[in-house]
Chain A
């Protein structure tokens, strides 16, 4: 009893310490976010000296403020501003940045999954299932722990690369963000401390009240992680759409303006969803790899289940991702129309065709996995004969979605086709059709999920027949509405057409929310045709999961490159010019090779991380190998 009380006190103290760690950076920095560190001193001094007050106008907020920072340096191509090795500095910084971002995204996403799965384990009434969830959450955090160290190392490499190759730019950026730089560092300390207590306290806090304390720790951990990401996002937001400085780049004393730029919030949302989808993909690929390497049915069952959960969580965040991307693009257009045109209709437009291809692959892989996964449940055969229609819908949506507006051609080809636009296919390469294409793809994915969820069940509610017919009619009407809006867009002016994407998105989301809810109600107390036979799934499905993860990784690299390239020859858009010899936009081919190299390096290094994780796992006594063949093994009693 005394021991238990001691544990409770210790747990509460640990939780309080974590909250304290979370609040510490904010408390330390309280005077800074309000008015900036130097603002009061500068302001008072200026008041005393009267005529020496120099005021500047915020380039974005258009407010006046007292100048407290130095102007953005005007760099020149030379060893002073751009010291270099015998190699393109931009490629080095690109590589360091991308690797840090991959690992950062991974270690941000996985603890969020952990929190969700641990919560599911705590609230579920089925004790065996609760243990399985708990084991799964533990497996997840174990993977991220090794990756966490690597993230910190890569962060260090990134800073050294900046200091070595871009000292003038880094000095300016760190000067602007000086009031919050130490917050970032302290948050990192808080994140590390919280993560280690959370991980090593797993066994000590596995039941009752202590489990809730442990779960609360995961919430604190994720709040810290998310705030860290938001702070990092403010730097790239500032580089793309600067605020809080005057036209010379001089800091005006309001750090909130510098952080809260035009693109900060859209970037925050887009990144958090993207990171979650990416994290889900990587964990799913890990599970797929373990599944394929498994020697026993029990292991196959466990990793099949793990892969499914990771994939489902990843896809849950993938579905709203295109809409968050749409918001980001809309804000980019609102901030600078020219920037939007460079992205979507100019220099970088072809990269968006590649992006569309990757998005299509993500959804195709997801659907393929779900159809394969239906094979492990008795009763799902009834849906197999309809899958060909879903393939047709997905293929049509995909082909429209990836159709380019104009083609890159030789003069002879141009002449033969009669213009840059194909006389027939060119009609599909416009936003109206593309919006229709992607919404058809997402709606079909929702339908696949609904079929998967009801695969081995037969509804027993009295209105089951009506429910099934209603679902069928609702989905059909949704498809018709999406396609109708896409076609309608061709007959109305551009300023009206642009609004049609909103009801299109709403139609897709209606299917997602209403049909999931209706299906859940219909399947309450449903008759089971048989259990889900975890592990009895084709190897092909696991390759689909690996494909999913690789496509996520490649797309993240691509989108990062696009977002960064849109600044063209600016370090900080319209404030600080990039005068290095590499201030030009690479060819699509070079960018694709670079992205592929980054993806390859990430996957080789993460395989090493997985291997390291498996070394510790081998030392754990296996207590769970006595399960029924084909069922999910019981987790070990302790870790």
Chain B
């Protein structure tokens, strides 16, 4: 826990969790509607 209180490590860990979470939310919720979140990137 003390390592996590290091600001640099805390920012990196938080970024990884947040970016992964929001990417998952975007992908999964579009997929649930039968839509492709990555539409533009597949063109």
Closest B residue by C-beta to A478: B22
CB B2 to nearest CB in A, in angstroms, measures 8
CB B20 to nearest CB in A, in angstroms, measures 10
**A265 to B26 CA separation, bound complex (whole angstroms):** 27
Residues of B within 8 A of A465 (CB): 4-5, 7, 10
Q: Report if A50 contacts B (CB, 8 A).
A: no
Question: Which of these binds chain B: A33-41, A331-339, A466-474, A563-571?
Answer: A466-474
- Residues of B whose CB lies within 8 Å of any CB of A are 1, 4-5, 7, 10-11, 13-15, 17-19, 21-22, 25-26, 29-30, 32-33, 35-37, 39-40
Question: Which of these binds chain B: A406-414, A423-431, A500-508?
Answer: A500-508
Residues of A within 8 A of B19 (CB): 477
**A435-468, CB < 8 A from B:** 462-463, 465-466
**A492 to B40 CA separation, bound complex (whole angstroms):** 6
Would you call A477 and B18 a contact (CB within 8 A)?
yes
Q: Report if A499 contacts B (CB, 8 A).
A: yes
A474-B14, A496-B30, A502-B33 given; name 12 further pairs at CB < 8 Å.
Answer: A463-B1, A463-B4, A465-B5, A470-B18, A473-B11, A473-B18, A474-B18, A477-B15, A481-B26, A496-B35, A496-B36, A503-B29
**A496 to B43 CA separation, bound complex (whole angstroms):** 14
Residues of A within 8 A of B7 (CB): 465, 469
**A58 to B34 CA separation, bound complex (whole angstroms):** 31
Closest A residue by C-beta to B20: A477
Closest B residue by C-beta to A474: B18
Would you call A506 and B29 a contact (CB within 8 A)?
yes
The 4 lowest CB-CB distance pairs between A and B, nearest first, are A473-B14, A477-B18, A469-B10, A499-B35
Would you call B14 and A481 a contact (CB within 8 A)?
no
B30 contact from A462, A470, A499, Cβ within 8 A: A499
**A462 to B15 CA separation, bound complex (whole angstroms):** 20
**A478 to B15 CA separation, bound complex (whole angstroms):** 11
CB B28 to nearest CB in A, in angstroms, measures 8
Q: Report if A510 contacts B (CB, 8 A).
A: yes
Residues of B within 8 A of A463 (CB): 1, 4-5
Residues of A within 8 A of B17 (CB): 470, 474
16 residue pairs from A and B, CB less than 8 Å apart? A463-B1, A465-B4, A465-B5, A466-B1, A469-B11, A477-B15, A477-B22, A478-B22, A491-B40, A495-B35, A499-B29, A499-B30, A502-B30, A502-B32, A503-B30, A503-B37
CB B19 to nearest CB in A, in angstroms, measures 6
Q: Report if A488 contacts B (CB, 8 A).
A: yes
Closest A residue by C-beta to B10: A469
**A500 to B33 CA separation, bound complex (whole angstroms):** 10
How many residues on chain A are close to B (CB under 8 Å)? 27
Closest B residue by C-beta to A472: B14
Q: Report if A310 contacts B (CB, 8 A).
A: no
CB A276 to nearest CB in B, in angstroms, measures 27
**A474-521, CB < 8 A from B:** 474, 476-478, 481, 485, 488, 491-493, 495-496, 499-500, 502-503, 506-507, 510
Would you call B26 and A466 a contact (CB within 8 A)?
no
A473 contact from B15, B26, B33, B39, Cβ within 8 A: B15
- Residues of A whose CB lies within 8 Å of any CB of B are 462-463, 465-466, 469-470, 472-474, 476-478, 481, 485, 488, 491-493, 495-496, 499-500, 502-503, 506-507, 510
Residues of B within 8 A of A470 (CB): 10, 13-14, 17-18
Residues of A within 8 A of B26 (CB): 481, 485, 503
Which of B13, B26, B36 has the most chain A CB atoms closer than 10 A to its own CB? B26
Closest A residue by C-beta to B28: A503
Would you call A506 and B25 a contact (CB within 8 A)?
yes
**A506 to B36 CA separation, bound complex (whole angstroms):** 17
**A466 to B9 CA separation, bound complex (whole angstroms):** 9
**A597 to B39 CA separation, bound complex (whole angstroms):** 50
Closest B residue by C-beta to A468: B10
Residues of A within 8 A of B5 (CB): 462-463, 465-466
Residues of A within 8 A of B10 (CB): 465-466, 469-470
Which of B22, B29, B32, B35 has the most chain A CB atoms closer than 10 A to its own CB? B22
CB A495 to nearest CB in B, in angstroms, measures 8
Which of A463, A473, A488 has the most chain B CB atoms closer than 10 A to its own CB? A473
Residues of A within 8 A of B1 (CB): 462-463, 466
**A506 to B5 CA separation, bound complex (whole angstroms):** 29
**A495 to B36 CA separation, bound complex (whole angstroms):** 10
**A481 to B30 CA separation, bound complex (whole angstroms):** 14
Which of A472, A492, A503, A507 has the most chain B CB atoms closer than 10 A to its own CB? A503
Closest A residue by C-beta to B23: A481
Would you call A507 and B22 a contact (CB within 8 A)?
yes
Given known contacts A499-B35, A502-B30, A503-B30, is B40 in contact with A510 (CB within 8 Å)?
Answer: no
Residues of B within 8 A of A491 (CB): 40
Closest A residue by C-beta to B16: A473
Residues of A within 8 A of B40 (CB): 488, 491-492
Closest B residue by C-beta to A480: B22
Residues of B within 8 A of A478 (CB): 18, 22
Closest B residue by C-beta to A493: B39
CB A486 to nearest CB in B, in angstroms, measures 12
CB A256 to nearest CB in B, in angstroms, measures 30
